[in-house]
Structures are given as C-alpha cells and as structure tokens.
Structure 1
C-alpha cells in the first residue's frame, strides 16, 4: 500500500493530468478483465458439440456473456468517475493549457474504449483455441475425406438423379434439358419416372443493351425469333445468353436412368463458397445450377463426381471401407451423432445384383423415429397423369397444351414414385450431416472472418460520445449539461415539426430541406461560441458549447449525407459506354465508395476539432459568471 501511495505521489508531482484521470489504474483494471474474457473465450467451445449450430460467433451475445460484459463495463466506468470527479483542476481555475485539456479528453477516450472492448479479448481467445484445436493442415485433410465420403451418405434422392452428373467429360460440357415441354421427342432422350433428360451442345452471345426496366435485352436474331435461352450469366456491363444447338446421344455413357452414385456431384463443404448456401457454409445443389458458368465451383463438383466414379469403378470394397472408417473416426472426434458401421455401410453400396450402383438404401439425416422437417427427401409434388407447363418466354401468359408424361414413360403407372421409393428404402441408420457442416463452417469462420473490423466502430463511437459527454460535464458542470440535453431535445422536436409542416405544405425535396435546415442550425450553434461568445451570457454559451462538443461529428456525417443526396440527384443522367455504345446509369455514392473508412475519417475530424476547440473552452472559462 505504501508503494502505491508513493507511485500516486510520483504521478501527482510529475504527471498531474495522468494522476487526475486515473488512466494508469484504469488500464490495469481493464487489462485484468481483458485477460479474464480471453480465458472465457478460450474455454467456451472446448466441446465440439458447441460448434454444431449456426454462427457460433454470435454466442457472445446469445449466451449471456454480453450482460456480464455490460455490468463490468458500467461498474468500471462508474468507479472511475467517482475517483476522478473528486478533483477538477479546470473547474477550480488551476492553470491548464490547451494541450493538457486535449490530453485529458484523449485519456477519457482510451479509458472508456479499454473498459468496453472485452468482446475482442473473448474472440481472440476463441480464435486461439480454434487454431490450436483445429489446425489448418489437419482440417484440410479431414475435409477432403469428408467430401469424398459424402456421396455415399445417400440422404437426398435429388442429389443422385441424372441431371447432377458432371463426369465423364461429355456431361461436363453439355447442357441437360429436363423441362418436359422443351424436349425434342424426335431425338434421343432419357426417362426416370416423371422426369425426362436430353443433352445439348450450346453456343453463346453477349448483350450490352438494356430495356426501360434495366434488364439486358437478348440478342438478335434469337430474340426476334422467340428462341428461349437455356440460361444466362449476367455481369455488371453485359449479359451472356446461352442457346441450345444440337442434341447429343449419351446412351454409351448412361447405363441407368435410376438415381445412382455415379450421378453425385455435390460438394459437402467448401468455405470459399459459403455464400452459395444462405450463409450455412456448404454448397447446396438446390441453389447451384450445374449449367451455371461459375467454372471454379463447377470444376470442384466435377472432381467430386470423378473421384466417386473412380471408387465405384475400382470395385474395391476394402478401399471404400477404409474411407468410411476414416470418416467415422473424424465424426467421433468431432462428436457428430450417428450409428453407422463401416462394413454394413459398404454392403449397402456394393452388391452383385447392382452393377450400376443405383441408390437402393437411404440413411436418415436425423436421429430417432421422426424428424421435424417431414419433406426431407422429396419436396416436389408431381402429377402422374400429365404436366402442364407455362411458357414464360417471351409471354408469361402463353400456356401450351398439356403434355402427358405417359408419352415419354408409358410404364409410369407401374413404377414407384421417388418419394415412396425413399420411404420404402430408408434404413434405421442415421448421420447428422448438418451438424458436421455447421462445425466445419464455424471453425473456418472463427479462423478467417474479420470480427475486429466488423465491430470496432460500435465501440469507437461509444467511447467517443461518452468521452465528449464526460469532458463537457468536467468543463461546464452538471447544470449546463442538463440544460444542453433539454435544449437539444427541444431543438430536435422543433426541427421535426417544421419538417412535417414543410412536407404537408410544399411537398417535394423534403430530404434536401431537412438536410440543409439541420446544417444551417448546426452551423449557427457551432459559430456563435467561435465568433460571438461575448454577446451571450455564460450559461447560454455553455449550452452551445456542450451541443457543439457532442454534435460536431454528427454535423460532419450530415455533410457527407448531403453530398450523397446530390450524387443521387445527379445520377439520373445516363452515361454512354465508349467501347460498346450502350447507356447505363453511373451512380457513385460516397458512403459506398468510402465504406468503413468514412468512420475513421469522421473520428479523426472529431479529434482535430476537439484539439482546436479547447481554446474556446479556455475563453469560455474566463468569462464572468
């Protein structure tokens, strides 16, 4: 205790501002709690099961840790204020320079920021644990095993139908048409129950012209001849349209039209394509069209298809069993629930009476007798007798004659519908594949996502506004601060009423009126203490000073908003592209162009303003009461 008193005395004599703000003790206290939150983050997800849910990064806010964070932050800041407010050199007319005043404000900011940012320590500990527990090399090896095993889980019949196939090469290059109405019945097609497949070569054309709605117009003569594109790929300045050319007979490559392991081409997990599955993190065939020109993803899917075909063609049950054992070992390590057995699993795939490796058994993706989502396997309800297809190109209301599926598949009434086929062949084996996907996604998300840049701005501005508020209180006192809050509220209400009156009376340009009116009021409040402080009494000046201290950065934000409004208004003029001679709207936006950099720009402007405004504070303090 004696050493602490000596250290305090040393600070008082050598660094009175540091002693007064208590920054040394507050930073030490904050450091202790940052270490505590780091440890909490490190041990929070030791159990792999805790990673088997959506977005574990949000657990800080969902599991109540944020409330502990808030309580500790409030206690630290309140305790700091109680200690600091015992002494106020400026209020008691002790000599204080402009630099010392600004230094106090900066120290307030540092103290509050350090006492409110425990989230970053938690996430740093969490990330360190994930990096240690799930190293990159081990994860890459495990993901490869998982992706090579996933084709044999047979949990969704839609993943094994013919249109999914990408290997060998003809399937990769050709377009698979499965719309019954668009099938050429005079050329080779393939049938599975109520589905028809036909393979085409393609040719492509680019379009640079847009219609009044901003949609690219398909090229001629195809558009004039009402030839519908197979699909299209839209870029920022053009759209590529792909048209069917010739039918190709793939009878030599297709041994069966039934759902087969040869057709599987999905990627169970790939973090690079997490956005392709609504943020879950794994690639989903329901989203991805295999004919999309996204060649990176398509190549990866084709590789999965090729590896699966190679395993099947080798007919080496021992090799497949070893793969399954490795997969189940990984699942056990990650505690993913399942009741699979490698040998019995292999026996469901390899069979002498199943040379084409058709999918004859299905593994549940849920444990227990029933599942919450009853439409797991076959979500589409289809009519057996006929299919009516609406032609939506170019006229959506043009409905063609009904095409009976029996014309393509005369034996359909003797065949088992896919949903009934799945129901009849579902085993008691299960594997919670979604849990594995969530775990892999969360591991990569914690490792790679930038949690600092996404959240730091919230804490920066909390610290800045609390600092200006406390600084204003230290300078002008509680009475002036309360009058400032009341005045700001009355001013806000008045501006709102005037804006409503303007909108009802004049109509039009309300955004510009509000922006410039608030800017005008803000400049008056800001300039009176700068230019005409002596013309007002000390209380009025203190109110204007407090509003200026807390509102300057908001005024800067308003100026950027006004610039954005003018950019939006000027954007109505179309621009002609020099190379391709087509028109488009060039709409720059300062908020989109600068992004989060704007936050740092305004913060720097705020600190610069506070530095120069300390001279006004000294001038105000010298005024008579």
Structure 2
C-alpha cells in the first residue's frame, strides 16, 4: 500500500492529469482481466467435441462468457468513475490548458476501450490454442485422408448416381442431360429406375446483352430461334454471361459399365475451406448444379473421382483397409462418433460378385440411439425428384413416358426402398467431422478483429464524450442536454411525418437536410455566437455538439449516398438494357469499414480544437 501511495504522489507531482484520470491503475487492472480472458479462450475448446457444432466463433456469446465480460466491464468503469470524480480540477477552476483537456478525453477513451475489449483477448487465446493443437501441416494431411475416404461412407445415394461422374475427363467435358422432356430417344441414353441420362457435347457463346429486367440473354441467332441454353455462367461482376448450348449426343457406353449407383460415380469434396460456399469462383452458375462451372471446385471434384477410381481399379483390399485405419484413427483423435471397423468396412466394398463396385450398403449419418426408433433413415438421405413423384401417381402422362424409357421399371426396386433395405447398423456422424474441420480453419483464417473492433471503438468514444461532458459542464447541464436532444428528435419525427403526409415523396432528402440544418445551428452557435445565449443554454449546445459531432459527419456521408443512389437510379432508368453498364456504388459502400476510422479520426480532431470552446464557455459568467 505504501508503494502505491508513493506512485500516486509521484504522479500527482509530475503528471497531475495522469494521476487525476487513474489511467495507470486502470490499465493494470484491465491487463489482469485481459490475461484472464486469454486463458479462458485458450482452455475453452480443449475437448474436440466442443468444435463439432456450427460456428464456434459465437461461443463467446452463446456460452455466457459475454455476461461475465459485461459484469467485469461495468464494475471497472463504475469503480474508476467513483475514484476519478473525487477530483474535478476544471470544475474547481484549476488551470487547464487545451492540451490537458484533450489529454483527459484521450485517456478516458483508452481506459474505457481497455476495460471493454476482453472479447479480443479471449479470441486470441482461442486462436493460439487452435494453432498449437491443430497445426497446418497435420491438418492438410488429415483432410487429404478424410477426402479420400469419404467416397466409401455411402451415406447418400444421390452422391453415387451417374450424373455425378467426372472421370475420365470426357465426363467432365460433356453435359449430362437428365430432363426426361429433353432426352433424344433416337440416340444413346442410359437409365437407372426413373433417372434418364444422356451426354451431350456443348458449344459456348459470351453475351453482354440484357433484357429490360436486367437479365443476360443469349446472342443471335440462338435468342431469336429460342434455343434454350443447357446452362450458363455469369461473371461475378455481372459484366457478361457465357451461355452453353447442346451440340450433339455422345455415346459413352465404353466407359459406363453399370447405371446403378456406384463408387465410380462419386465426385464430391467432403471438405475444403475454400469451397465451403460452393460459389466462390469467378463465375456463378445459373442453371446447372451437378456440373458446376466453378472450375476450381469442379477440378477438385474430378480429382476425387479420379483418386477413387484408381484406388478401386488397383483392387488391393489391404491398401483400402490402411486408408480406413488412418481415417478412423483421425476420427478417434477428434472424437467423432462412429462404430466402424476398418477390416469389416473393407469387406463391404470388395466382393467377387460386384466387379462394378455398385453400392451394396449404406452407413447411417447419426447415432441410432439419438433418434426415434421408427424414423426411417432413407427419408433423410434420398431426395425424391419430380420425375419420381410423377411416377408415384402425380401424373399419368409422366409415368407413361418413364415406361417408354425403362420398360422394366415395375420390376425394379425404387431408390428409397433400396436404401432402406441395404442400410447397415454402422454409423458415422460425418457432419461432426465437417464442423470440426470448418471451425478449425475458421478460427485460423477469419478476421474477427476487423469485424468487431468498430463496435468497441464507438462504445468507448461515446462513453468518453459523455463522461467528458459531465466533467466539464456538470450533471445538471448534461441532463438538460439529454432532454433537449430527445425533444429535438421528437420534433424532427413529427415534422417529417407531416411533410410525408402533405407532400409525399423524397422524405429521405427532407429529413436528412433538416437534421443537418439543425445540427449546424447547434454546432455554430457555441463556435461563433456563444455570448448570444446564457451559460445554461450554451452548455446544452456544447454537450450536444461534443456527443453528436461524429453523427453529423456520418449524416453528411448519408446525404452524399442518397444523391448517388438517386442519380444511379435515373441513369439505370434511361439506359438501353441491350448493352452492359456498371452498377454505381455509393461512397459508404466504397469506403466500407474505412469510413468508421475516418469519422473516428475526425471526431478526435474536433475534440482537440473544441477544447478552446470549452474554455471560452467556462469563462462565461454564471
């Protein structure tokens, strides 16, 4: 205690402003709690099961840590205010220069910011744990094993049907038509129960033309001749679109040994952080989901298909068993729920009477005891398309068409029943593995700082201006200022409503300029004509100016944005949609989060120069 008193005495003699704000002790207290939250973050997800859910980044808010954060922050700020308010040099006419006043405000900001940002310490600890526990080299190796093993989990029959196949390369280059209305019966097609497949070569044409709705349309002569594109790709900036049209049917009988669901057809990427959105490429797909024209993803799918095919063609059960053993070891380490055995799993795949590796078993994707006993598994894994629904009685005409393509359909087993009959007692919760991998990568790569820092910056800034206002003008003036601001808001709202009912139209322009006009009057009176009002009224104007200046700056950017949007709308109305145009972005959209920092810097600059106004106000007679 004696040491603390000595430090306080030293600060009082050498740095009275620092002593007055108690910033040294507050930063030490904040540092202690930042270390505590760092440790909490580091230890919060030691159990891999805690990573097996959607977006663990939000656990800070879901698990109640945020409430501990708020309680500690409130106690720190309130305790600091109680200590600081014992000494108010400005109120008691101690000499205070502009620099000292502004220095106090900056110290308020630093103290509040340090006492409210424990979230970042938690996340830094969390990220450090993830980096140490799940190093990149190990995760890359594990993800490769998981992706090579995933084809053999056979948890969804739709992943093994013929339209998924991308290897050999000819499958990737062709378009697989599976719409029964568009199949050419006079040329080679393939049938699996109620699914019809026909492969076509395609040609492409780039188009910049748009219709009046702003949608891209094909060039001539396809547009005039009403030739429907097989699928299209639109530039992510919407400057052009590439349309693909069917050319001729290609017979792939030499490659297709069976039309039944087969391991040879699997081409999905179980996990890749870059493909979690499945639309991150330069072009977005409008028509054709199975053969996604996001070529980076499509090449990854083709690689999985190629790897699986080559592994099956080698016909070495020992190699497959080794892969399964490695996969299950990873699953055990990450505590993924399953009851698989590498040897028995391998025996399900290799069979002398199954040379085409058709799907003969299905693995549950959930722990059976966690669901109702009478819940049919196949309903959650098999999608019934419109063709199947038609055959089941929704359309007699469609069922007749199906019999034309597949006369044996009545003697064949439907996909949903096939899944139900061949579902084993084995299970593997694959979603848990996906969630874990995604959460690990998310914690390593996502920028949680830039996304959240603005909230804490502005909490600290507005609290600082509010406390600074209290220190300068006192509680009475501050309460009058709050009431006055509320009355002004009500007045603006009523006038805006009256304007909207009377004139109807462009209310956003009216209210924006009206608020700007009022704000400028409040700001300019203390700057230019402080003597024209008494000290109490001027204190209200001073407090509103200090607390709302940054909002006034933001309002100016809003007004600029409104004008840009209006001009853009007029431009779009008058353009010819057969030609491309660039969408116009507003200044707020262009600056994005940078605008927050710009306004913050302007706010600090304003507070520095406004301290002269505060000194002038203090010199006014009571």
Which band: TM-score by shorter chain?
Answer: over 0.9
Displacement of 1:524:
0.4
CA RMSD of aligned residues (A): 2.1
Check if 1:491 corresponds to 2:488.
yes
Deviations 1:542-593 (A, max 9, x none): 00000000000000000000000000111134489x9x98242532211110
Displacement of 1:209:
1.4
Could you say if the C-alpha distance between residues 446 and 385 of structure 1 is closer, same or farther in structure 2, counting changes exceeding 3 Å? closer
Displacement of 1:384:
6.2
Match of 2:516 in 1: 519
Match of 1:273 in 2: 275
Match of 2:55 in 1: 55
Displacement of 1:276:
2.4
- State whether residues 177 and 200 of structure 1, in contact with CA within 8 Å, keep that contact through their aligned partners in structure 2: yes
Equivalent position to 1:377, from 372, 378, 381: 381
Displacement of 1:158:
0.2
The aligned length equals: 608
Q: Distance in 2 between matches of 1:370 and 1:13?
A: 69
Displacement of 1:385:
3.9
Match of 1:165 in 2: 165
Match of 1:121 in 2: 121
Q: Distance in 1 between matches of 2:391 and 2:53?
A: 43
SS in 1 for 2:198: strand
Could you say if the C-alpha distance between residues 574 and 388 of structure 1 is closer, same or farther in structure 2, counting changes exceeding 3 Å? farther
Q: Distance in 1 between matches of 2:509 and 2:173?
A: 55
Q: Distance in 2 between matches of 1:216 and 1:13?
A: 74
Query: Which of the pair is proportionally richer in helix?
Result: 2
Q: Distance in 1 between matches of 2:552 and 2:389?
A: 63
Alignment of 1:38-437 (within 5 A): 38-235=38-235, 236-276=238-278, 289-369=289-369, 371=371, 375-380=379-384, 382-383=388-389, 385=391, 404-437=401-434
Check if 1:443 corresponds to 2:419.
no
Deviations 1:64-97 (A, max 9, x none): 0000000000000000000000001100000000
- State whether residues 571 and 585 of structure 1, in contact with CA within 8 Å, keep that contact through their aligned partners in structure 2: no
Could you say if the C-alpha distance between residues 224 and 409 of structure 1 is closer, same or farther in structure 2, counting changes exceeding 3 Å? same
Displacement of 1:9:
0.4
Q: Distance in 2 between matches of 1:350 and 1:499?
A: 76
Could you say if the C-alpha distance between residues 114 and 385 of structure 1 is closer, same or farther in structure 2, counting changes exceeding 3 Å? closer
Displacement of 1:226:
1.4
Q: Distance in 2 between matches of 1:219 and 1:21?
A: 71
Displacement of 1:371:
3.9
Could you say if the C-alpha distance between residues 194 and 70 of structure 1 is closer, same or farther in structure 2, counting changes exceeding 3 Å? same
Could you say if the C-alpha distance between residues 103 and 384 of structure 1 is closer, same or farther in structure 2, counting changes exceeding 3 Å? closer
Check if 1:561 corresponds to 2:555.
no
- State whether residues 364 and 426 of structure 2, in contact with CA within 8 Å, keep that contact through their aligned partners in structure 1: yes
Could you say if the C-alpha distance between residues 613 and 370 of structure 1 is closer, same or farther in structure 2, counting changes exceeding 3 Å? closer
Equivalent position to 2:546, from 530, 533, 549: 549
- State whether residues 556 and 602 of structure 1, in contact with CA within 8 Å, keep that contact through their aligned partners in structure 2: yes
Match of 2:3 in 1: 3
- State whether residues 181 and 403 of structure 1, in contact with CA within 8 Å, keep that contact through their aligned partners in structure 2: no
Equivalent position to 1:539, from 536, 541, 550: 536
Match of 2:18 in 1: 18
Match of 1:29 in 2: 29
Match of 1:394 in 2: none
Deviations 1:100-157 (A, max 9, x none): 0000000000000000000000000000000000000000000000000000000000
Displacement of 1:383:
3.5
Displacement of 1:175:
0.6
Q: Single out whichever of 363-372 and 470-479 deviates more from structure 2.
A: 363-372
Could you tell me the TM-score, scaled by structure 2's length?
Answer: 0.95
- State whether residues 276 and 288 of structure 1, in contact with CA within 8 Å, keep that contact through their aligned partners in structure 2: no
SS in 1 for 2:216: coil
Displacement of 1:274:
1.6
Deviations 1:208-240 (A, max 9, x none): 111111111222211211111000011111111
Alignment of 1:437-476 (within 5 A): 437-476=434-473
- State whether residues 391 and 398 of structure 2, in contact with CA within 8 Å, keep that contact through their aligned partners in structure 1: no
- State whether residues 386 and 403 of structure 1, in contact with CA within 8 Å, keep that contact through their aligned partners in structure 2: no
Could you say if the C-alpha distance between residues 218 and 581 of structure 1 is closer, same or farther in structure 2, counting changes exceeding 3 Å? closer
Deviations 1:383-427 (A, max 9, x none): 4648999xxxxxxxxxx9886100000000000000000000000
SS in 1 for 2:246: strand
SS in 2 for 1:346: helix
- State whether residues 232 and 288 of structure 2, in contact with CA within 8 Å, keep that contact through their aligned partners in structure 1: no
Match of 1:395 in 2: none
- State whether residues 98 and 615 of structure 1, in contact with CA within 8 Å, keep that contact through their aligned partners in structure 2: yes
- State whether residues 262 and 308 of structure 1, in contact with CA within 8 Å, keep that contact through their aligned partners in structure 2: yes
Q: Distance in 1 between matches of 2:456 and 2:586?
A: 25
Q: Structure 1: where are the runs of 5+ without partners?
A: 280-284, 390-399
Could you say if the C-alpha distance between residues 224 and 371 of structure 1 is closer, same or farther in structure 2, counting changes exceeding 3 Å? farther
Displacement of 1:297:
0.5
- State whether residues 77 and 115 of structure 1, in contact with CA within 8 Å, keep that contact through their aligned partners in structure 2: yes
Q: Distance in 2 between matches of 1:160 and 1:14?
A: 78
Deviations 1:238-265 (A, max 9, x none): 1110000010000000000000000000
- State whether residues 465 and 547 of structure 2, in contact with CA within 8 Å, keep that contact through their aligned partners in structure 1: yes
SS in 1 for 2:380: coil
Match of 1:607 in 2: 604
- State whether residues 387 and 404 of structure 1, in contact with CA within 8 Å, keep that contact through their aligned partners in structure 2: no
Could you say if the C-alpha distance between residues 387 and 568 of structure 1 is closer, same or farther in structure 2, counting changes exceeding 3 Å? farther
Q: Distance in 2 between matches of 1:308 and 1:376?
A: 25
Deviations 1:160-199 (A, max 9, x none): 0000000011101111000111000000000000000000
Could you say if the C-alpha distance between residues 143 and 366 of structure 1 is closer, same or farther in structure 2, counting changes exceeding 3 Å? same
SS in 2 for 1:563: helix
- State whether residues 158 and 382 of structure 2, in contact with CA within 8 Å, keep that contact through their aligned partners in structure 1: yes
Match of 1:393 in 2: none
- State whether residues 164 and 290 of structure 1, in contact with CA within 8 Å, keep that contact through their aligned partners in structure 2: yes
